[in-house]
Amino acid sequence: MPTLLRGAARASLAASLLLLASCAKDATAPSAPVAAGPTISNATIANGIMMQGFYWDVPASTSAGTWWQNLGSKATELSAAGVTALWLPPAYKGSGANDVGYGVYDRYDLGEFNQKGTVATHYGTLAQLQSCISALHGKGIQVYEDMVMNHLTSADAQEQFSYNGQNFNVYTSFTYPARANKYSTYQWHYYNFNGTQQAPNNGWYQWNAWDFQPYDNGQAYDNLLGSEIRYADQNQVNETIKWGNWMTTTLNLDGYRLDATKHMLTSFVNSWLDNVKGSSGRFAVSEAWFANLTDMNNYASATGGRTSLFDVPLHYTFKAMSDGNGSWDMRGLEFAGFTEANGPLSVSFVDNHDTDTPGGLNSPVVNLKMLAYAYILTREKGYPCIFYKDYYEYGLGAQIKTLNLVRKANAYGASYEYTSVDDADYYAYSRAGDSTHKGLMLILNDGSGARTKGITSPFKNATLTDKTGNYGGTIITDANGYGNFPVQGRSWSVWVPN
């Protein structure tokens, strides 16, 4: 979701609930079905690794073709790199060829109809999307689709509503003439919405009350952008559930990423999950952007464990480490974030399309980023999500792949935080292993010089090597598991028993 407008929506909420004039500040399946996917399983138990398969300004054309063709061409290498699920961008028609999908126009147009000046979406055509998903499924990679359900934009025509004897024209008529009722006969008009944005930063027209009042100290609020769908009306609930099931069947989805859920009526989110995800075993993670852990826990409670949540507080912990660039106290990583508070529902990440976008949240982890990746990819708790832009565009792919494979081979068994060993620069964490996996010892150092500390590890009478290759040589532990564990300056090591 483009986050530049979030402040606009929050500011506008304080104004009149009827007309906000100013503001200080988004049934038939295709003929060629998608190949069946891998057997659905709990990816977090299986040491799975999700990749966000896009970033904000991905090109419409790549050396492999469209973005769908680009992702499909990478299925083999991603599988070999330990990626078990790919989160796709919004696959439906937005406001035009350059819309990256969050400015939703037609949720039933997956690159099939000539609408908004283009047949293809920003990412390609329906046939290319189907081929991409089949390629991913063929390599055992699950597919999660980005479900944007808060709003619609770029209506087909204006409509008029009246307030206090004054008429107002608003763009709220969505009739989809080019699609001609294929897949769905549902059309949208002003009464299906609570209000609509006049223009970015120009306030709101409103004719229905917002679905809910702000909560969590105003961090959750209804109006975000575009024409805000009225989920207090069961008609829109039913239609969006129907669409969710259509998308699932049409694309043979293994899961979902739900956009901007704190801007939607929570009872609707729960109903959608119950009726679309249900007890199928499919995965769901929601973007509920709360920087405060209490707010995260409250939202997890409000959604009753139906959906995982991105660990936003942990991202900001990594951001603080990055900004400190060596001066931050590494003990802040101990028992950190929603991942520690509720591991089974946490999706840990370092950056995403919103944080690494100047027009969005603009909170990228620039310095010491691989320390953050080493942290999430070896952790006992949480389902880690790596970022395409970090992997391919920023040149971190080889190092992330190494950690992915370490996770697959060694990140098992009980974990331990070495609170009596850690200091402002040095952080240690271990996984004890199990009957078939040897475990690991993670060491992070944000200081400029190499460090070594004596630690009683889970590995007795063992010889260990750094599987990342960042530190040469071996460590030999005694009968109690004690050994000296070194790490280079501004670096990470994962020591593994041979």
Residue 264 tokens, joined:
């939607």
Q: For residue 228, indicate whether it is catalytic.
A: no
Q: How far apart are CA 429 and CA 419, in angstroms?
A: 9
Residues whose CB falls within 8 Å of the CB of residue 305, separated by 6 or more in sequence, listed in order: 345
Find out whether 128 and 111 touch, Cβ atoms under 8 Å. Answer: yes
Residue 324 tokens, joined:
């400190």
Quickly count: other Cβ atoms within 10 Å of residue 235's Cβ: 12
Q: How far apart are CA 80 and CA 281, in angstroms?
A: 24
Residue 103 tokens, joined:
């400015």
Q: How far apart are CA 21 and CA 370, in angstroms?
A: 46
Q: How far apart are CA 83 and CA 390, in angstroms?
A: 14
CA dihedral 294, 233, 103, 392 (to 10 degrees): 40
- Active-site choice (287, 311, 351, 425): 287
Name the β-bridge partners of 260. Answer: none
Q: For residue 356, indicate whether it is catalytic.
A: no
- Active-site choice (106, 112, 259, 340): 259
Q: How far apart are CA 118 and CA 65, in angstroms?
A: 17
Q: In what order do the strands lie in the sheet with 346-347?
A: 346-347, 308-310, 283-286, 255-258, 142-147, 85-88, 50-52, 385-387
Residues whose CB falls within 8 Å of the CB of residue 377, separated by 6 or more in sequence, listed in order: 49, 384, 386, 400, 403, 404, 406, 407, 411
Find out whether 270 and 240 touch, Cβ atoms under 8 Å. Answer: no
Residues that are catalytic: 259, 287
